[in-house]
Chain A
Amino acid sequence: MGKILSLAGYLAVKEVWRNRGRFLLVSLVIALITLLVLFIAALGEGLGNGNREYISKLDGQLLVYQAKSENLIAASRLSRDRLASIRRVDGVADAGMLGTASATLILPEEPLKVAILGIEPGHVGEPPALEGRQLSTDLADEVIIDSNTAYRTNLQVGDTLTLRTTQGTKDEFFTLQVVGISDGQQYSLQPSIFLPFNTWDRVRPKSEAEVNLSNPVANVVIVKLADPEQSEVVQQRINAQVNNVEAATLKQAIQALPGYSAQQSTLNTQGGFTLFIGILVIGGFFQIQILQKVAQIGVLKAIGAANPVVAWASVIQIIVVTIIGVAIGGLLTFVFSLTFPPTVPIVFNGTTSALALVALLLIGPLGGLVSIRYATRIEPLKALGLSS
């Protein structure tokens, strides 16, 4: 086998090198496909991340919704008495309210739409502040902003910010102090600002009917388990012991985020089709190439080159061309990614990019399968015009 591979490698590399213009051309096509696939993967990751970042980074394991809300956070309403009941369920270590809404952050240049998330200081749901400190009390006029908000506003710990929301029919302005900055915690593709729950309830947009009511209602309750391995058992326990709620794992909760699944499947399909087109392009190129060198392969076989040598030479050639193409494509993607503003939801996640790269490396050999099979079937007699 070593002898075959060494001879096949010699022939493959010589051919690629002596026809480098032609092979570079197909490598560039693969590079463009790589660029496209990596960007689609990064866009998928970026959009998905923008949607799920806060939920996926939670220190809890379950989200509890109002029954029949179909795991839609915005459609769920839970009052404080439910929180108390959930905390009493065996296996629950901690539980915290989560209220979600949008607001406008007033900035000197252009206002910024942000997600305002009401959480209970000291309980699950409050993101760790990487700079500054955690929120102090449930009523404090304080916020923790996520790194996305900090990046886009230049706000720092100790600064004050102004949020504008609609209260009934009027726009109201709320001035709050930034006490901490967390890592990236986007929610609903918006940068996030975390408020103590009661402060959030005061700030959040309200209808006319709600303006004078003071009965804070959360959207969901985040649950942290004593033993994270027991999530299924505790989930069933909550559903059975607490009235009018349904618990979901974080994975279920993420899948139920509005548009999340549809968005991800659309982008995955696009990525899949791009890979498929790549297979066809590479397959077509190598098939044409084999057709052009039937006589040459015939000579090789006539002078004693065995079929495995011919086949491996093609495989090695395809692998070399694919690796060069993917490397150029990866480099191009990296260079382009540096030019994108942070507002473009593109995230190069190691695992996703690695998977895309592996898929890209496989499209070459897959695309070349037909041509390799064709090469091994070339009859030297016919190829050299010796057949009667």
Chain B
Amino acid sequence: MNTNTNGKYALETKGVSKIYQTDFGTINAVDEVSLNVAAGEFVALVGPSGSGKTTMLSMLAALLQPSNGQILLDGSDLAAMNDKERVSMRREKIGFTFQANNLVPYLSAVENVELMLRLNNRLDKAGKLRSRELLARLGLGERLHNLPGQMSGGQQQRVAIARALIHNPSLVLADEPTASLDTERAYQVVETFAGLIHEQQRAGIMVTHDLRMCEYVDRVLMMQDGKLVKIYSTRDEIMQLVRGGRE
């Protein structure tokens, strides 16, 4: 379902590395990774623990500066930006959901979603309406004014998805979004997420250790020891991987 027809990518990385110097020597957490994601494409980043996928995600999220290489988001290089510029990029161009502690606990569901618009100084009547509609589409129409503590883990994740998408970011990142959910909820959340990414033409990347969740993605990028070792592009390849995950 790669909708990139004009050859331009929303996200493109070129030889990205992250090197740490420790007492025990040099560690290449991410080693020369080049990848691209088109608008409307949902990609899974998988790999065993310590493979570098979380470090890669942190760099793509402009939370971590790469040691080498380029990360081009809408043509702007995140690697060349200073702290202030990266904060702006996170606010304007990137949507993010995390494993847990996703939401601001003292804001209601709708306030959490509207927060992204407030941060971008774009909260108007239309924005408020859109926030409510998006939450309603995610099945939270009755939970608009509930605080995170009054919602289940799955409901909280869906609020986080709405927050990640409400400001029309170019790139949407999800770090183990199903880690704290039961299987049924996890499938629902990823399916919803994938649907919105395709519909709204965002570039989406999900880091997951659960291969079953790859059922809804367009490509799977496998990392090992900091390197991108394999790409599953066809539906058959992906479903084979998913079946392996189920077993």
Residues of A within 8 A of B (CB): 3, 7, 10-11, 14-15, 17-19, 295-296, 298-306, 380-381, 384-388
Smallest CB separation, A17 vs chain B (Å): 8
CB <8 Å contact, B87 and A304: yes
Given contacts A7-B118, A388-B54, A388-B55, A299 and B63 within 8 Å (CB-CB): no
Smallest CB separation, B22 vs chain A (Å): 10
Given contacts A296-B101, A296-B105, A304-B88, A386 and B115 within 8 Å (CB-CB): no
Chain B residues with CB under 8 Å of A301's CB are: 87
User: What are 29 sample pairs from A and B whose C-beta atoms fall under 8 A apart?
Assistant: A10-B118, A14-B106, A15-B106, A17-B106, A18-B106, A18-B107, A299-B103, A300-B104, A302-B61, A302-B90, A302-B98, A303-B90, A303-B163, A304-B90, A304-B91, A304-B116, A304-B119, A305-B119, A381-B63, A381-B64, A384-B101, A385-B99, A386-B57, A386-B58, A386-B63, A386-B64, A387-B58, A388-B29, A388-B55
Beyond known contacts A305-B91, A386-B54: 15 more, CB 8 A cutoff = A14-B107, A14-B111, A296-B101, A303-B115, A303-B119, A304-B116, A304-B119, A305-B119, A306-B84, A380-B63, A381-B58, A381-B64, A386-B57, A387-B58, A388-B54
- Main secondary structure, interface of B, reads mixed
Chain B residues with CB under 8 Å of A295's CB are: 101
Chain B residues with CB under 8 Å of A299's CB are: 98, 101-104
B99's nearest neighbour on chain A, judged by CB, is A385
Smallest CB separation, B106 vs chain A (Å): 4
A334 to B141, CA, bound (A): 50
CB <8 Å contact, A303 and B63: no
Smallest CB separation, B61 vs chain A (Å): 7
Residue B77 at the chain A interface, CB threshold 8 Å: no
Chain B residues with CB under 8 Å of A303's CB are: 90-91, 96, 115-116, 119, 163
Residue B41 at the chain A interface, CB threshold 8 Å: no
Name B86-141 residues within 8 Å CB distance of A: 87-88, 90-92, 94, 96, 98-99, 101-107, 111, 115-116, 118-121
Residue B175 at the chain A interface, CB threshold 8 Å: yes
A157 to B245, CA, bound (A): 103
Chain B residues with CB under 8 Å of A19's CB are: 106
A386 to B99, CA, bound (A): 10
| Binary CB contact string for chain B from 34 to 78 against chain A (1 if under 8 A, 0 otherwise) | 000000000000000000001101100101100000000000000
Residue B147 at the chain A interface, CB threshold 8 Å: yes
B83's nearest neighbour on chain A, judged by CB, is A307
A16 to B216, CA, bound (A): 41
Which 4 residue pairs across A and B have the least CB separation, nearest first?
A: A304-B91, A18-B106, A295-B101, A304-B90
Chain A residues with CB under 8 Å of B88's CB are: 304
Residues of B within 8 A of A (CB): 20, 29, 54-55, 57-58, 61, 63-64, 84, 87-88, 90-92, 94, 96, 98-99, 101-107, 111, 115-116, 118-121, 147, 163, 175
Contact pick for A7, options B29, B63, B90, B119, CB 8 Å: B119
Chain A residues with CB under 8 Å of B107's CB are: 14, 18
Chain A residues with CB under 8 Å of B20's CB are: 388
A298 to B107, CA, bound (A): 15
A380's nearest neighbour on chain B, judged by CB, is B63
Smallest CB separation, A355 vs chain B (Å): 35
Smallest CB separation, A140 vs chain B (Å): 76
Chain B residues with CB under 8 Å of A15's CB are: 106
A18 to B84, CA, bound (A): 31
B98's nearest neighbour on chain A, judged by CB, is A384
A380 to B64, CA, bound (A): 10
B61's nearest neighbour on chain A, judged by CB, is A302
Smallest CB separation, B147 vs chain A (Å): 7
A386 to B207, CA, bound (A): 12
A305's nearest neighbour on chain B, judged by CB, is B119
A11 to B88, CA, bound (A): 19
Smallest CB separation, B119 vs chain A (Å): 5
Chain A residues with CB under 8 Å of B120's CB are: 304
A304 to B173, CA, bound (A): 14
Chain B residues with CB under 8 Å of A17's CB are: 106
CB <8 Å contact, A302 and B163: no
Smallest CB separation, B192 vs chain A (Å): 20
Smallest CB separation, B158 vs chain A (Å): 16
A299 to B175, CA, bound (A): 13
Contact pick for A302, options B55, B92, B96, B121, CB 8 Å: B96
Most chain A CB within 10 A, of B54, B96, B98, B102, is at B98
A295 to B100, CA, bound (A): 9
Smallest CB separation, A130 vs chain B (Å): 58
Smallest CB separation, B74 vs chain A (Å): 16
Chain A residues with CB under 8 Å of B116's CB are: 303-304
Chain B residues with CB under 8 Å of A298's CB are: 101
Smallest CB separation, A91 vs chain B (Å): 68
Chain A residues with CB under 8 Å of B147's CB are: 18
Contact pick for A304, options B54, B92, B102, CB 8 Å: B92
Chain B residues with CB under 8 Å of A18's CB are: 106-107, 147
Smallest CB separation, A379 vs chain B (Å): 9
